[in-house]
Amino acid sequence: METPDFKRVIRGYDPGAVDQAWAETDRQLSEAYAAHKELRLQINSLREQNSEWGNRLKHYEQIEKDLRDALLSAQRAANQVKDEAAKQAEELIQSARSESETLLSEATRISESVRTEVETKLVEKQMEILKIEEQIQELAAQKTELQTQVDQAIHYLEMVKGLFTSDILSSADQPG
């Protein structure tokens, strides 16, 4: 707002100019008041928006905090599950190794037992085979000896037969 410049007249300022200045000042003051009122409304609206945005920001900050807490909890839980799984896997591996070693040891023991049993039976069977072969050789020798005795007996029988035959013939030739 500008300061009005009044012309001086005899007895003070020109009343028309003063009235005109006051009217202009009043008009400007009314405009300024209306603008001020509009600005106040805008400020109040902006304050409400600012308050609303502040509340939203607080809400989003709370959501962010909750999400961070949830993420940290999830990470802790995931790490705990991962550690537990690794521990269980190691226990399973150790158990499997122990069991496989036990099974391998048992299989080796059984294999050795079976191998020893098979070797023992093999030696027994070889001994039986040797005995049977000896018996076969003895029987073959006995057969050969018997064959020789049979051949001799046949030879003696033929000789006796020959002697009987010649004795019979000679007695038949002799008067009697």
pLDDT of residue 1: 58
Integer Cα distance of 53 and 60 in angstroms = 10
pLDDT of residue 14: 81
What confidence tier does 120 reach under pLDDT thresholds 50, 70, 90?
very high
Which two structure tokens, joined as six digits, stand for 68? 């961070």
Integer Cα distance of 167 and 45 in angstroms = 171
For residue 8, give the H/E element and its range: strand 8-9
Question: Do 37 and 49 touch, CB atoms closer than 8 A?
Answer: no
pLDDT tens sequence across 21-67: 889 889 999 999 999 999 999 999 999 999 999 999 999 999 999 99
Question: Above 60 in pLDDT, residue 176?
Answer: no
- In percent, the amount of the chain with pLDDT more than 90 equals 70
Which two structure tokens, joined as six digits, stand for 143? 């057969």
Which residues face 9 on adjacent strands?
Answer: 12
Integer Cα distance of 22 and 106 in angstroms = 120
pLDDT of residue 58: 92
When pLDDT is averaged across residues 116-123 and rounded to a whole number, the result is: 94
- CA 2 to each of CA 9, 28, 34: distance values in angstroms, whole numbers, following the listed order: 21, 10, 18
pLDDT tens sequence across 60-75: 999 999 999 999 999 9
End-to-end CA distance of the chain: 206
pLDDT of residue 6: 61
pTM: 0.40
Question: Measured on CA atoms in the order 14, 16, 19, 22, is the torsion positive or negative?
Answer: negative
Integer Cα distance of 172 and 176 in angstroms = 8
Question: Do 18 and 7 touch, CB atoms closer than 8 A?
Answer: no
